[in-house]
Amino acid sequence: MSAVIDTHGHEDHGPKRGFMRWVTTTNHKDIGAMYLWFSLAMFFVGGLFALIIRSELFQPGLQIVEPEFFNQMTTMHGLIMVFGAVMPAFVGLANWLIPVMIGGPDMALPRLNNWSFWLLPFSFTILLSTMFMEGGGPNYGWTFYAPLSTSYAPPSVTFFIFAMHLMGVSSILGSINIIATIFNMRAPGMTLMKMPMFVWSWLITSYLLVAVIPVLAGVITMMLMDINFGTSFFDAAGGGDPVLFQHVFWFFGHPEVYIMILPAFGIVSHIIPAFARKPLFGYSSMVYATSSIAFLSFIVWAHHMFTVGIPLVGELFFMYATMLIAVPTGVKVFNWITTMFRGSMTFETPMLFALAFVVLFTIGGFSGLMLAIAPADFQYHDTYFVVAHFHYVLVPGAIFAIFAAMYYWLPKMTGNMYPEWLGKLHFWLSFVGMNLTFFPMHFIGLAGMPRRIPDYNMQFADFNMVASVGAFAFGFTQLLFLAIVIITIRGGKKAEAKSWEGAEGLEWSLPSPAPYHTFATPPEVK
Amino acid sequence: MRVWYLLLALMAPNAMAAWEVNMRQGVTEISHAVYDLHMTIFWVCVAIGVVVFGVMFYSIYHHRKSRGAVSDDFHESTKLEIVWTAIPFAILVVMAIPATQVLVQMYDASDSDIDIKVMGYQWKWSYEYLGQDLGNGENLAYFSNLATPRQEVYNESEKNPNYLLEVDEPLVIPANKKVRFLISANDVIHAFWVPDFAVKKDAIPGFINEAWTNVPEPGIYRGQCAELCGEAHGYMPIVVKVVPEDEYVAWVENKRQQVAAARGITPTVASK
Ligand code: HEM
Ligand SMILES: [Cu+2]
Ligand SMILES: [Cu+2]
């Protein structure tokens, strides 16, 4: 990360000094590091909001916040975690890693890269500032269903729309850059079917982003028109259609959830082979499975809308398609497990996070499969069961994969090994805290507790209390992660070029820390 | 205080309904069918999980470097890939059959005995009994509001067992009759949900959605709004009182008179 500061002067030119280095940089490692730091900051902001939610839900009755503020917290937590924490973290890893993995000197469009990043702090400053505006910030859920988010929204909604547009521009530019990089900057001999899985997964993710972020932009623009220019896309009183909002939103929204998991699949496909000391099982099948998931993710959106009253045939179509998407997802899990089989495994922190990923993501997949059964979804929908589902795929899924990646590549970024025992401590505390928080949510959901409510009947009290205790444990554990990153940047055991015995790939042919500029002359890939 | 209660409850899990871990079976034929689907897919997942995690933990235990495991090099098998694509696919096809059947049943709201229009408002429900004329061409209709006192919400008095799940005027329907709900909303989207009937349908402004139920057992059944609808989304419960048919007929007649009188309308004689 920022330890690349130490490496100046060994090449023809190093980074500028001081603040302007970060403002004007076009270096993919600098920009990657900024994305990662930004994501970590947002992770703490979103986490703070989550802890406010869990404090209120610790007991029945209203104790800490009022329902209106509670709704702002659930909304902002979701928006910040999805768009501010998970997505930028993956983009940061892509920036840092893709050029070194494919043997290219930098991203294909370095200035665009700088702009993509710098849109984000502005976007999220605007988003967070809405909470201090008259009427408060977004309180309509991260899915912002109209007309709650249009005719009935607080006036700050226009700022929310603007913030989302900026974020969307950043994502689109970032993904165009990744596509351009992967197609143009590969070292000679690096054919598509030789590319590392992380690169493959990001190539596919970028196409998803380019396809669906404009749809998001479309839907928020329609909101903007409804709110400020007198149209009635979503206003029934003016002949509009509130359900149209949901179709357009989820046409973006479902691929979006895969945008948050495909790069994680890529990361885990590096780490498991490295610590099992055995090549990834079924490389080409992994590529095809990821592509099929991406394709299918465009035709399942209405599984989020099973209760809106779509016609029977529509309901059946989306149920079957959703069940189908579990097949390639299963194939990926089977491939990872077969990679472990007859390997020679060790369990350093990245591997622990990757193994937990496989188990807990699969549990999230199972609840996904249950949710896919439309008649059963009538009971699950909009309850804590759904909350349990998506936190299982996102926390030990996306976020554990990000942690795994950080521990795995931190030696390459900083030149130092992190303290292994602290990493393991971070893992175990996160593992326990996360399960304590989210597993009971399956139970309260099945027992009938709706999501997004600040208060509940006593029949849900016990498991809510457990979940709140777990949330605090998980939340405070993450300060340990921050400490570990800082400790590792500042010193520690020197990392070797190939920091892990079983690590494979071009990035490990570079010294640790990787120099400011790498692969100015492309390596030869056999 | 609650922490002690929690510890206590942990010691006697069966005594506490609050530690309920599974979906409730509900009281209708449909809710039982849904529960069965839920259990079937759950056990399918458990079975897959046992196999998958079994192999994984076997490898983690036996194929670890500290036990001297030397890694193999195999990394491809088209046969295996086909097998583990085909088997899950087949399981899902089998699973899709009962799911389709139940869904078709749930969607069949035809031949109802009674039709009730359910409207969501910020933040209350209204129930309109179609065909129950007040005497001026309007139907019998009334609002149903949360009945929990503020003091209970703000912890100033003891919470009663139906905390947040109680209303001033419940929806009343007869047992053993097919009741069709026509569901819509006045402002934002709400969702009408009664878990014991496995009925959940969004109430959307400008749309009329259908759902139906047929409840064999008289009783009181409680549900909540299931779509974020603004500030008091957590405070608009649904209470359905299911009564024997004769009682229902008497209730409707009485309610009709009462509502008509309150609005200064001369009620007609019982319509049927
Ligand atoms: C086996 C694969 C999966 C299946 C079959 C599946 C199925 C579903 C279904 C049917 C719902 C709608 C539930 C409802 O609202 O009633 C849902 C919700 C959700 N899923 Fe999944 N899912 C899968 C994997 C994933 C993955 C990989 C992610 C993200 C990493 C994800 C994230 C979400 C989110 C965020 C929601 C809730 C959105 C909201 O309403 O706020 N799911 N899933
Ligand atoms: Cu989805
Ligand atoms: Cu509501």
Segment B130-154, tens digit of pLDDT:
999 888 889 999 999 999 999 999 9
Residues B43 and B151 in one domain: no
CB contact under 8 A, B53 and A359: yes
Output the domain CATH number for residue B3.
Answer: 1.10.287.90
- pLDDT single digits (tens) A298-327: 999 999 999 999 999 999 999 999 999 999
Q: Look at residues A199, A212, A207 and name the one whose alpha carbon lies nearest to residue A253.
A: A212
- pLDDT single digits (tens) A223-268: 999 999 999 999 999 999 999 999 999 999 999 999 999 999 999 9
Q: Which residues of B are less than 8 Å from A61 in CB distance?
A: 152-155, 159
Mean pLDDT computed over every residue of chain A: 95
From CA A298, how far away is CA A409, in angstroms rounded? 32
Would strands B139-144 and B199-203 be described as parallel, antiparallel, or unpaired? unpaired
- Of B81, B108, B135, the residue at which a domain comes to its end is B108
Choose the closest CB to B234 out of A312, A358, A454.
Answer: A454
Determine how many CB atoms are found less than 10 A away from the CB of residue A320: 18
Q: Is residue B240 part of a domain?
A: yes
SS3 B173: strand
A60 touches chain B (CB under 8 A): yes
Choose the closest CB to A148 out of B48, B165, B228.
Answer: B228
Q: Look at residues B73, B224, B266 and name the one whose alpha carbon lies nearest to residue A280.
A: B73
Q: Which residues of B are less than 8 Å from A356 in CB distance?
A: none
Q: Is residue B269 part of a domain?
A: no
Q: What is the pLDDT of residue B175?
A: 97
Residue A133 has pLDDT above 70, yes or no: yes
Catalytic (active-site) positions of A: 77, 106, 142, 170-171, 254, 256, 258, 269, 303-304, 329, 332, 451
Q: Is residue B30 part of a domain?
A: yes
Q: What is the pLDDT of residue B155?
A: 93
Counting from 1 in the atom list of ligand 1, the atom nearest the Cα of A306 is 16
CB contact under 8 A, B18 and A461: yes
- Give A453→chain B minimum CA distance, Å: 5
Is there a contact between A34 and A22 (Cβ–Cβ < 8 Å)? yes
Residues B259 and B125 in one domain: yes
Residues B121 and B246 in one domain: yes
Residues B96 and B125 in one domain: no
This prediction's pTM: 0.94
Provide the percentage of residues in chain A whose pLDDT is more than 90.
95
Is there a contact between A203 and A185 (Cβ–Cβ < 8 Å)? no
Residues B166 and B103 in one domain: no
Helices vs strands, H then E, count in chain B: 5, 10
Cα-based distances in Å from A266 to A98, A106, A197, A203:
12, 20, 5, 10
* Complex ipTM more than 0.90, yes or no: yes
Which ligand is nearest the CA of B190, by number?
Answer: 3
Q: Is residue B94 part of a domain?
A: yes
Residues B78 and B149 in one domain: no
From CA A278, how far away is CA A342, in angstroms rounded? 8
Residues B15 and B41 in one domain: yes
Residues B62-67: contacts with CB within 8 Å, 24+ apart?
B63/A276, B63/A340, B63/A341, B63/A342, B63/A343, B63/A344, B63/A345, B64/A344, B64/A345, B64/A346, B64/A347, B65/A277, B65/A344, B65/A345, B65/A346, B66/A346
Q: What is the pLDDT of residue B117?
A: 97
Q: Is residue B268 part of a domain?
A: no
Q: What is the pLDDT of residue B76?
A: 86
- pLDDT single digits (tens) A434-493: 999 999 999 999 999 999 999 999 999 999 999 999 999 999 999 999 999 999 999 899
Counting from 1 in the atom list of ligand 1, the atom nearest the Cα of A326 is 1
Host domain of residue B6: 1-64+72-108
Output the domain CATH number for residue B238.
Answer: 2.60.40.420
Mean pLDDT of A349-362: 98
Per-residue tokens: B100:
């389709």
Residues with CB under 6 A from ligand 1: A 143, 257, 260-261, 303-304, 322, 325-326, 329, 365, 368-369, 371-372, 377, 380-381, 386, 389-390, 393-394, 397-398
- pLDDT single digits (tens) B226-263: 999 999 999 999 999 999 999 999 999 999 999 999 88
- pLDDT single digits (tens) A368-395: 999 999 999 999 999 999 999 999 999 9
Residue B12 has pLDDT above 50, yes or no: no
Q: Is residue B131 part of a domain?
A: yes
Number of folded domains in chain B?
A: 2
Residues B159 and B35 in one domain: no
- Of B80, B108, B136, the residue at which a domain comes to its end is B108
Query: Tokens 């998506």 identify what position?
Result: A390
Q: What is the pLDDT of residue B272?
A: 46
Residues B94 and B195 in one domain: no
Which ligand is nearest the CA of B227, by number?
Answer: 3
Residues B209 and B238 in one domain: yes
- pLDDT single digits (tens) B13-63: 443 456 889 999 999 999 999 999 999 999 999 999 999 999 999 999 999
Q: What is the pLDDT of residue A230?
A: 92
Residues B34 and B88 in one domain: yes
DSSP summary character for residue A516: S
Sorting pLDDT into bands at 50, 70 and 90, what band is A1?
Answer: very low
Sorting pLDDT into bands at 50, 70 and 90, what band is B8?
Answer: very low
Residues B78 and B15 in one domain: yes
Q: Which residues of B are less than 8 Å from A145 in CB distance?
A: 188-189, 227-228
Is there a contact between A445 and A380 (Cβ–Cβ < 8 Å)? yes
Domains of chain A: 23-235 (1.20.210.10), 261-516 (1.20.210.10)
DSSP collapsed to 3 states, A428-440: HHHHHHHHHHHHH
Helices vs strands, H then E, count in chain A: 17, 0
Q: Is residue B84 part of a domain?
A: yes
Q: Is residue B271 part of a domain?
A: no
